[in-house]
Amino acid sequence: MSYQLKIVLLLGLLFSTFAFAGNNDNDSWQQADKNGELARKTFLHCRDFVRGWLANADPQTGLIPRNLTRDFYWNAKDAAADNYPFMVLTSAVLDRPLFDGRMLTMLKTEKRLTSRVGPLPDDFCFATQTFCNDQIDMRKIIFGASEYMKDGLLPLTEWLGPSPWRDRMIELMNGILDHAEIETQVGVLPAIDHEVGGEMMQTLSRLYWLTKNERYRSFAFRYADYFLFHALPTQQPRLSLDDHGCEVIGGLSEVYFLAAETDQKRHKKYKKPMYQMLDRILEIGRNKNGLFYMTIDPVNGKVLKDELTDNWGYDYDAFLTVAQVDNYQPYRDAVRFVLQHVKNETGYPWEGDGADGYADSIESGLNLLNRVPVESGFQWVEHEIQHLLAKQQDDGVIEGWHGDGNYTRTAIMYALWKTQGCRIEPWRADVSFGAVQKGDELWVSIHSRWPWKGKLIFDTPRHSEYFHIPIDYARLNQFPEWFTVKKKASYEMTTITDAQESPKTVSGYDLLKGYPVETTGDAVRPKGEKSVRMKIRMKI
C-alpha cells in the first residue's frame, strides 16, 4: 500500500472534524506525487556523485583529490571545502552506514594527516604521502582553513547539527584566531581581504550564537569595524559581487544582525555605512532584471565586468537580512523584484555554462524564494535544475574537479524543497516521497516500487535548534527550512482507509525521530487496493 500524510497546522484553533475536499485533495496528492518523483531522481544523481568520486579516492589514505585530471593531492580550500562535505551530506540523507563509516573515517584521516599548524591543515600530496610544500605559508593555511569552515563545515552543521564536523569547524576557528597577526586600526586580524574577511564574519557570527563564546563575537565586531569604518567595500575602486569577493557583503550583514540582537549601540553605529554600501551596490551593480554584474567600480560608478554573477542571490541575502533587522521595505522590494524577473534570464550561461555556475545561481535563488515566494521564480528554478542535472556523466562524476560538490549541494537543496525537508530511513532508489504545502496544510506522499519498511523523519527549526539563532535570517551556506516540527508540540494524525478515520496523537519528538511507515509496493499491490492517507495537525 502507499502511505500519504496530510499535515495541517491550525495555530490557535482546534476543529473537532475536518474532511478531505474532493478535487482539491486530488490536486494536492498529484502535486505531492510529482514532487516525490522529482526528488527521487535528484537523489539518484547525488548518490551517483558520491560513488563516482569515491572510486577515484587515493587508495592509501582514502582522501579525495583536488581534481581528477592533474592535481592529485588533497587541499583544504578545494577538496575539503567544496567536494568532500557534500559527499558527507549526501550520505547523511541517503546512506547512513556510509555516513557513519567511510565519511567519518575520511574526517579522522584528514585531521591526522593534514593538520600542520596545530589543527590547521596544509596541502597533502598522495604521491609522497606528505605535505606538498616544504615551507609553511600561514597566509595560504589560513585561507584554506577559512574556506573549509565557511564553504564546507558550516553548511554541514546547518543540516547535521552537533557532529564531529561541527567540532572540526570550532577547532579550525580557534586555530585561525590564535594566528591573527595582521595589525589594523581596530586590532589584529587573521586576514583582511574581502574573501577571508567575509568568510570569517559569517562563521564567527554563527559560532557565537552556537557557543556564546565572547571571543567569537569580539572578532566578528572587530572585522565589521574594520570594513565599515576603515575599508568600506564601496569606497574602493574595485568590488567583486562574484565568488571570492561577495563574501564580505554577506559577512557584514551577519555581523549587522548580531549587533542588532546583542549590542544596540553598535547596531546604530553600523547603520549608516551599511546602508551606504548596500545602496551603492543597488545603484550601479544591477542589470534591468535586478541581477548583479561580476565586478563594479563603486567610486567612479562603472561596471568593470558586465557578465552576470551566479552569486547574485548570495549578495541579496545581505539586503534581505538588513530589511528584516530594520523592517526596511526598499531592500525587501529589491529582492522581490529580482525574483520576479530572473525568469527573463532563463538559459543564461552561468560561468560559461559550467555546472558550478548553475549550482550557485539556483541555490542562491532558492534560498531567497524560501523567504520571498514568487511563483515565476520557482518556475525558473524548475527549468534551470534540469539543465544542471543533465551535466552528470555516466560514472557519476560531473566535471571532474572540486566544483562537483557544489552540483550536489544544490541538487540536495532542490530535492529537500520537493520533500519540504522530510527524509526517509532507510533511503532506497525505488522509494519516492514528496510533499506540498498549500496554505496551512502539508501533504506528504510516499510510494515504492517494491515493499519497503522504514520511517519518515521531519525537519526541525535548525536555526534555533542547532545554532540557537533567534531568527532565521537569510545567510549563505544554509539549507532552507520549509516545513518544520517542534519537539514539544503535539500532532494529531488521522489514518483514513475506506472513509474511516482513526485519529491518534503523536509528539513532535516522535516525528523528529521518525514515524514508522510500511508500503507493499506498487509493483505487488493487489489491483484495486486503496492507498492509506494520513493527516496531521498541531494541537495547541
Delineate the domains of the chain, giving CATH numbers in brackets.
Answer: 3-31+427-539 (no CATH), 56-179 (no CATH), 187-398 (1.50.10.20)
Whose CA is closest to 110, among 143, 87, 138, 76?
A: 76
pLDDT of 537 higher than 60: no
Q: How far apart are CA 162 and CA 286, in angstroms?
A: 39
CA angle, corner 422, sides to 416 and 424, nearest 5?
110
Q: Which range has the worst mean pLDDT, 76-85, 153-162, 385-394, 502-511?
A: 502-511
Encode pLDDT of 431-450 as tens digits.
Answer: 999 998 877 677 888 889 99
Q: Which amino acid is at 221?
A: F
* Residue pair 326/279 in contact by the 8 Å Cβ criterion: no
Three-class secondary structure of residue 19 per DSSP:
coil
Contact indicator for 533, 501 with CB cutoff of 8 Å: no
For the sheet with 130-131, list strands across it.
73-74, 124-125, 130-131
Does pTM top 0.85 for this prediction? Answer: yes
Alpha helices in 212-301 (DSSP H): 214-229, 247-262, 264-284
- The 3-state DSSP class for residue 374 equals coil
φ, ψ for residue 438, nearest 5 deg: -130, 110
Phi first, then psi, for residue 8 (nearest 5°) are: -120, 120
Q: Shortest CA distance to 271 belongs to which of 251, 248, 255?
A: 255
pLDDT of residue 237: 97
Q: Looking at the predicted structure, is the pLDDT value of residue 148 above 70?
A: yes
- Which band of pLDDT confidence, cut at 50, 70 and 90, is reported for residue 517? confident
Q: For all residues of the chain together, what is the average pLDDT?
A: 91
